[in-house]
Chains A and B, each alone.
Chain A
């Protein structure tokens, strides 16, 4: 597979401490397109070994708007279903640029390890010094060791090591969309996580046409009025929550977007520093980056101040636990009680539809109605939208906002980028397989 791809699938056997590479066959792309189309295929291929499959979308890391996302596909230790967790921030892009489109992890290591993926090299590295460290400490230590602050990590914290049901795989220092307990899965394999860094390039079959069409689509996107908004609060307001703006405003420092995503859906809160500070903070940990709407809302509805909610989210990120599950299931109302309850969180959270996509994303459209009517239809639409986003590598929250990103133009760009004729029939077949 020559274009939009590294042409490589990485197979890691933790039992044998061995790595091998497979070429990504173009005929497979013609059948499965990419993203969770391919991770589902790879999961089934290695099903007997209960693999963890990491992937990137076919358009990930390109000029197509919001082409930011990667995916983790694995069987959830919480639900028992094969689920798909979006990989967000800049991490999805880094996976592809680190030299692999897909990574299959099989088996269990005898001792703690992490996987250092860089420029087409995969090293199974000793994690003895990282095991027991929280997500922030481990991320900082890896960045210091490798000598690069741009290193992107996908790590578990103590929650994953201790086998908590709602242990999360965190991205860099922050919580992730993982509602499936994939952190517990990593921990059960003695896998502290991944570090990714790549300085690679992706070839595009028709580069000029690809960029031109991308920019045309971006221009259409920018005409949508929701792009005047920023951060989590407007999304929650659009979903009918009241008073979020006033509540969060005193600690809001800035908003940031995922790779090439026109809406800044992550909100940074300053907790130990004046959010209005115009210079770089002297404090080492002045705040927390929040991407989880419902965790934030959960703490708000439990009566937390925005500052305390931010502190709870920060503690969850360090411990590597799903903050939504903590807010919903702990039943605690103070920060001290919450942090003390991390190892005893249990119970169920509701996952809409077939239960294979993360309810980190709202289960319906945001800002725009996409012409939908009726709850049943909305969930079906939402599942297809999630599936399609994660096939092509589109930031799944943004795809719920932006009707200008259509299945047609995703297919068009995929064909332009790969020189492979990809049709709606193929896409329908891939989505049907994913949705079972």
Chain B
């Protein structure tokens, strides 16, 4: 059995939601991951992938960092048979747009329904409910859980209903209605309204929530809501099923123990050096979690690009690594790529320093935006490096 090689984009512009994809695929038993940043995409290191995931974040920032080369490589990747899964910002990215730098990614004929000529009446959290888009406004009528209903694409006899959270993703109208795999069907008691219910209904109900656009040998999956969110198991299952179908795998979750060739051999770290690395990661993650926890009590948020970041998002990164540390510690042999040891220890230490710095800046009523940008960059770097270490090591342990 061939297991799909999944690339989860973790470069500039992404928010923490790419970590949810890591959780999702890992829980389902997938083990062959890479975490490309914008440089790797521009260098076309994605061509060997089966699936490329672009998660939520700031669409403009993602497009800008990927640039023309990145756009060309993504297009080529899908044309050659790759599966692109875009969630929220990742869903906006390949849609047609005349606005630079999004115009470098004009791949699919899907329009968004949450676009307005007029500034919509935002009842709460204006900075999260609307963003200028040329002379128009992209607005987000609701947040949190909404209800979806699948169409007949996968299963002609059965339409499935499930919930998934919407955090700024689009409602969609596809050029070909058969591309729509699920529509927005309703709201839930947890839905928060940023506009009147009438506008929200008009914008979303009956419009595409999940769209699959065939593109030569491959296809684009565009997910309006965050189906990968860990609190929504049925939505999670939809993504896994889609990957399994598209990559031609058997409809069983994978047995990790049968796979002998998930990762190529890399440098091995054993004994005292391995223990030192784990302790160093544990030390800095703990130091960082402690400050990050205290930041959550402070009334602060940062607007980075087009995206609002709250302190709570810092701990999403840290906890994603922290909860995997015990599994990592059980391995006597750590598998590292070149330069990974230094990258991990350097980034982990820097995050502690920068978090302590930002706490003092906030306590002293000083501007903290630059430090916040640096922290989220470092969190990306550390998470990518950590997951490289983690999955390579676990796979090696299984294969022993």
Contact = CB atoms under 8 A, between A and B. Distances in A.
Question: Are A and B associated in one complex?
Answer: yes
Contacts of A121: 279, 282-283, 286
B293 A145 contact: no
B356 A199 contact: no
A148 B295 CA distance: 8
A147 B283 contact: no
B290 A146 contact: yes
Given A121-B279, A199-B293, A147 B359 contact: yes
B304 interface: no
A147 B356 CA distance: 5
A120 interface: yes
Contacts of A123: 283
B289 interface: yes
B6 to A, nearest CB: 31
A318 interface: no
A149 B359 CA distance: 11
Interface in A131-170: 144-151
Contacts of A151: 290
Interface residues on B, range: 10 to 19
Contacts of B293: 148, 199
A257 B293 CA distance: 24
Interface string B90-111: 0000000000000000000000
Contacts of B359: 147
Contact of A147 (B279, B282, B286, B294): B294
A197 interface: yes
B340 interface: no
B289 A150 contact: no
B318 to A, nearest CB: 10
B360 interface: yes
Interface string A114-129: 0000111101000000
B316 interface: no
B287 interface: yes
Nearest to A149: B294
Interface in B262-292: 279, 282-283, 285-287, 289-291
B355 interface: yes
A146 B356 contact: yes
Given A119-B289, A197-B290, A145 B282 contact: no
A119 B282 contact: yes
A148 B282 contact: no
Interface in B214-260: none
Contacts of B279: 121
Nearest to A197: B290
Contacts of B287: 118, 146
A413 B282 CA distance: 32
Contacts of B285: 119
Contact of B290 (A120, A144, A148): A148
Nearest to A145: B356
B369 to A, nearest CB: 18
A145 B282 CA distance: 19
Contact of A119 (B286, B291, B295, B360): B286
Given A120-B282, A121-B282, A121-B283, A199 B290 contact: yes
Nearest to A199: B289
Contacts of A147: 290-291, 294-295, 355-356, 359-360
A146 B355 CA distance: 9
Contacts of A150: 294
Q: Which of B286, B289, B293, B356 has the largest count of A CB atoms less than 10 A from its CB?
A: B286
Interface of A: 118-121, 123, 144-151, 197, 199
Given A150-B294, A199-B293, 7 more contacts: A118-B286, A118-B290, A119-B282, A120-B282, A123-B283, A147-B356, A148-B294
Interface of B: 279, 282-283, 285-287, 289-291, 293-295, 355-356, 359-360
28 contacts: A118-B286, A118-B287, A118-B290, A119-B282, A119-B285, A119-B289, A119-B290, A120-B282, A121-B286, A144-B360, A145-B356, A146-B290, A146-B291, A146-B356, A147-B291, A147-B294, A147-B295, A147-B355, A147-B356, A147-B359, A147-B360, A148-B290, A148-B293, A148-B294, A149-B294, A150-B294, A151-B290, A199-B293
Please provide the 4 A-B residue pairs with the shortest distance between their CB atoms, ordered closest to farther: A147-B291, A119-B286, A147-B359, A148-B294
